[in-house]
Structure 1
Amino acid sequence: MSEEGDIKTLAKLEVLSFEEAKLIFEQRQDLPLTAFCGPSCSYPSHDVECIRESFSRLMKHKPVGWEKIAKCIQEKADRFEINLGFHEASEEDKEKIKKITDWYFKKIQKKEEECEECDEE
């Protein structure tokens, strides 16, 4: 793809004007490949602001292979001591979540049964 095509793609993905995208594209050219996560340098992760924006954009769109990209962004976030909330839940937390969801579904089921009894009367 040509440089102009890359800039147009960046502008479309980032919802930027062509001039804004051109400036960002030129700034990205100065960064090493290790400053990015994802294919085609699509998720810059070289500073705190970029890490937060990249993670937010990733969670919003979730392209194919997003889990691998999220892991890369999380690793970079850990270096900056940024909590993105993407860590695997502990077994204890999973058990708490299960108890809460079980309780909730039982409550819903009970209400549905009560509604069915009202309909029969």
Structure 2
Amino acid sequence: MPAVARPHEITTRAEKFRADILTEKIPERAWQMSAGAGAKGQHVYDWAHIALSEPRPSHRHLLIRRNRTTGQFAYYRCYSPRPVPLATLIDVAGSRWRLEETFQSGRGLAELDEHQVLRYTS
């Protein structure tokens, strides 16, 4: 589930739009709240998704996360071979944070964040 930038162009069933422009078209009732614990405290976000145009038999979405505190948005391109509910897409996006946090803490423990290891011979 790669993150994309605000100006990233997305092809929908209607036409091409920037990710941030698509966000403006989402009705308020389409947003779903999600909360969970994170390394820096409780995360509370609103989520929505938009089905994307795809010539192949697959399911692609633009997943949008809105921070309830700051109002900032994050965008993710999603793929699944079969239809999945928004809750599943949110769970997958949440697992990405756990992986990134684990990676960051591992780098610190191995001192790779300080560039101490320039060469490793096993």
Normalization by structure 1: what TM-score? 0.29
Q: Which has the higher helix share?
A: 1
Higher share in strand: 2
Highest RCO, 1 vs 2 (Cα 8 Å, sep ≥ 6): 2
TM-score in terms of structure 2 length: 0.29
Query: Highest CA radius of gyration, 1 or 2?
Result: 1
